[in-house]
Amino acid sequence: MNQNPSKLRRALERMAMMASAFSLAGCASLTGPDLPPAPQQAATQDYTYIIGAGDSVNIVVWRNPELSMSVPVRPDGKIAAPLVDDLLAQGKTPVQLARDVEVVLGKYVRDPIVTVLVGGFVGPYSEQIRIVGEASRPQAIPYKQQMTLLDLMIVVGGVTDFASDKAIIMRTREGSKQYSVRVRDLLKRGDMSANVDMQPGDILIIPQSLF
């Protein structure tokens, strides 16, 4: 069935205008003025590393070298070592895991003293920082003490040419509360007032600019 070309053109123009309006609305919901700026300093001085799947743990048993070894934390979050079968490691601090290993070994060794050293430093997903959107290399990275927005930008190689002036930090430790951050001011103008501390579990969302 033939259609009037002028009517078809007007319909396409209306569809384009609606798509543009939806894009504007979506961008405004992410970068609107209702979002407070992210605090420059985050209270993470008491942060203790949490073991995650993909880490390697070196179990050292004092005076029992035959029981000491380095083992990976499996995808199910557990480890296996001499006399230690399927012990959950994920979600624990190294000290907590050492005490748990002592309890297990105590069935076979008198008063074991265990030290756990972590390598690999992947950490659980809940502690990783995710960078998504218009980053040059979007990825998830392990949190480190006193990590800042600038540190993240160095890891991901900055932002693309299509990145918006404003980005969003979704802070899972505060019930997914959202804050605005000025990524381009930090990278393009060297404005260090735009640099902010990150917290474990933060999600950095870099929207695409409309212009």
DSSP string of 87-106, one letter each residue: EE-TT--HHHHHHHHHHHHT
Mean pLDDT of 68-74: 97
Q: Check whether residue 143 and residue 202 sit in a common domain.
A: yes
pLDDT attached to residue 165: 87
Q: Check whether residue 140 and residue 174 sit in a common domain.
A: yes
**28 domain-assigned:** no
**11 domain-assigned:** no
Answer yes or no: is pLDDT of 199 > 80. yes
Could you list the residue range(s) of the whole structural domain that residue 60 is in?
Answer: 56-119
pLDDT attached to residue 142: 96
pLDDT attached to residue 34: 81
**87 domain-assigned:** yes
CA-CA-CA-CA torsion sign (182, 187, 190, 192): positive
pTM (predicted TM-score)? 0.79
Mean pLDDT of 179-207: 95
Domain count for the chain:
2
Q: Check whether residue 137 and residue 191 sit in a common domain.
A: yes
| Tokens coding 18 | 């609606």
**15 domain-assigned:** no
pLDDT attached to residue 210: 79
Nearest residue to 40 (alpha-carbon basis) of 186, 198, 191 = 198
Task: Give the single-character DSSP code of 194.
Answer: G
**152 domain-assigned:** yes
pLDDT attached to residue 43: 66
**30 domain-assigned:** no
Distance from C-alpha of 107 to C-alpha of 110, rounded to nearest angstrom: 8
Mean pLDDT of 85-110: 97
Answer yes or no: is pLDDT of 105 > 50. yes
Q: Check whether residue 82 and residue 130 sit in a common domain.
A: no
pLDDT attached to residue 6: 59
Q: What is the pLDDT of residues 13-35, one digit of tens each?
A: 554 444 444 344 444 444 444 89
Higher pLDDT, 163 or 24: 163
Mean pLDDT of 154-166: 94
